[in-house]
Amino acid sequence: MDIAEISGKQVVLMQQSGSLMNISLRQIRAFIAVANTGSFTEAARRMHLTQSAVSMVVRQLEEEMALPLFDRHGRGVTPTAAAMEFLPLARRIQEDLERITSGARDIRTLQRGALRLGATQMLACTYIPEVMQTFETRYPHISGRITDTTVDDLVAMVKRGEVDIGIGPERRTDDDVRRDFLFEVPLRLICAQGHPMAARKQVAWDEITNMRWITYSTEFTHDLMSMLRRDTSAEDGSRTLDVRHLTTAIALAGRGVGITVAPDYVMPFAAPLGATTVELINPSISRRFFVYSLAERSLMPAAETFLALMREQLHRPVEE
């Protein structure tokens, strides 16, 4: 016998002749226990089985191997020459199984593993840090990597396998990427602190559609303008300045170059960049955020746990 393969609860041994034997892990454990103790009774005690059960399991192994493994006598049992040849391989199989079992338990209980998370840049510095702080405190043995990226690149990162999950605004996906709704937040006007609308509590969409817009996501801007034309009959004449990152759009709006819109979680970043935020109405429009992952790949426990913590945080009541 020179090849061993673990398959489910069976160990498939291949002899040099090429014939296969299906041996159960229970049989291997019983064989090792009897060989170590020299007694069916003591082996049964260690395995928490009856002596007759251990004897039967060993008999089944001997029948499968077509070899006697123990010489039975009044003083107990003695391993045969064949058993002594098989014993080192059986021990290696048992050790490998224990490592597999231990590794699986560690991954399942988050004693080991990795979290590879992709998120849009602004989301990565607003919602994500608090969740990551809790995650790191509870599961310090998990290594992590957060890749902050643009909205338009997030789904592509998931498809390329660079991250396990991506969290970001709604995007069209192919069949190979799954998306699950996570939360939604209202959009707000971002304008300079000296802008005529900055002091107002509310601004209607049809008041801003023809202003100079600063856009930071091609797909989002297209979908938003299509929605506005449908809902408010806005003219298709607004001028735009395109940038790559939302922070750049906020900074430009703060300098009075134009206006932009963004989810309300950017509010803490507006003032330092010279901008302010105003509620948008007629209609009230929210931006929906999703979790993106590969459709045919199961999430690892670390990713599942992180998402559970994030959902818990999102549904936590706001303290007054």
pLDDT in tens, 234-251: 444 457 888 888 899 999
The distance between the two most distant Cα atoms of the chain, rounded to a whole number of Å, is: 103
Output DSSP code: residue 99. H
Q: Could you tell me which CATH class the domain 114-313 is placed in?
A: alpha beta
Distance between CA 209 and CA 213 in Å, rounded? 8
Could you give the 3-state DSSP secondary structure of residue 279? strand
Portions of the chain given CATH number 3.40.190.290? 114-313
Portions of the chain given CATH number 1.10.10.10? 3-108
* Per-residue confidence (pLDDT) for residue 116, from 0 to 100: 95
Omega cis (within 30) before 283: yes
Q: Report, as an integer, the average pLDDT of 109-120.
A: 88
Q: In this predicted model, what pLDDT tens digit does every residue of 291-300 receive, in sequence order?
A: 999 998 888 9
Q: Report, as an integer, the average pLDDT of 208-231.
A: 74
CB 108 within 8 A of CB 136: no
With CA atoms as reference, report the closest residue to 185 among 281, 289, 261, 275: 289
With CA atoms as reference, report the closest residue to 252 among 190, 310, 204: 190
Distance between CA 283 and CA 285 in Å, rounded? 6
Distance between CA 192 and CA 204 in Å, rounded? 17
| CA dihedral of residues 258, 263, 269, 275 (deg, nearest 10) | 30
pLDDT band (50, 70, 90) for residue 7 = very low
* Per-residue confidence (pLDDT) for residue 252, from 0 to 100: 96
Instruction: Enter the tokens of residue 115.
Output: 């979290």
With CA atoms as reference, report the closest residue to 79 among 93, 88, 51: 88
CATH number for the domain whose boundaries are 3-108: 1.10.10.10
Distance between CA 118 and CA 121 in Å, rounded? 9
Helix (H) or strand (E) holding 287: strand 286-294
* Per-residue confidence (pLDDT) for residue 164, from 0 to 100: 94
